[in-house]
Structure 1
Amino acid sequence: MNQKEFESVINLPANIRYEYFIKKVVDSEEVWGLYENGWSVTEDDKGNKLVPFWPKKEFAEYCASDDWGIYSTKRINLTEFINEFLPNFKKEGFLPSIFFNNADSALLDVDILIEDLKTELEKY
C-alpha cells in the first residue's frame, strides 16, 4: 500500500472505514490487532471496554504509539476471529472497535460484526 492510499483511507469517516474493513478482511482472510501479553484494550466515555482491530498491518502499526507503544501488531485468521475471538470477547463484555485511526472508530455489537463478515463472505 502506498502512502497516498494509506492517508486517504485512514482519514475516511468511521462508517466508511468500517465498510473498508469488512471488504479487506474478507478478501485477505486476516484481521490485525495489537498484542503484548494480551490484546490492547481501551474504554469509551461510557466505560465500555473496547478491543481495536484493523484490516491491514500498516493501520495497526500507525496506532501502536503513546499508550499502545509497547504493543506489536498481530495477525488473526478471519475464521478464528469470527468463530472464536468475537464470541469470547462478547462473553467477556468487550466491544469491537473497528479501524481506529487515533481519533475515532466504528463501535458496534459483536453479533452485527459477525453478521456483516458472514454476509460479505457469502459473496466469495
Structure 2
Amino acid sequence: MSEDKSQLEERLMIGLHGTPELKLGEKLEHLGVFRERILRLLTKDQVDDKQIYPEIEEALKDPRSTRLLLNGDLAFDFRAKYIKIARQYNKPYTVVNDPRLKGEVGLVVASDQAVDVNEVEVK
C-alpha cells in the first residue's frame, strides 16, 4: 500500500509542479543550456566590454554551433554587437529573461548536442 501511496504522491507533485528538470541548477547557471552543449561563453562583464571577442565569432562559425543565447539583464547596446555576428552566420539568437538565472554568464554559443570542449570560458 505504501508503494501505491508514494506513486500517487509523485504524480500529484508532477501535476502541481510539472516534470522535474534534469540538471536544473546547471542550466540556470548557463542561460538554460547544459554545460556539455556549450562551445564558448562570456561573462556579463565581458559582454559589456567595447571589444568583440573573436572567440565568439569563431564559435559561431563552428558547424556544431546552433544558436546564441544572451542574458536579458544586459543592455541592448552590448548585446547588439553579438546579435549582428549571429545574423551574419545565420545562427538564431535568444535573449534569456529568467529571474531564476544564477551566476555571471552573459553569453553562450551552444549546440543542440553534446560537444567535447574542455575550456568554454573566454579568458
TM-score, normalised relative to structure 1: 0.25
Structure label with greater radius of gyration: 2
TM-score, normalised relative to structure 2: 0.25
Q: Which has the higher contact order (CA 8 A, sep 6+)?
A: 2
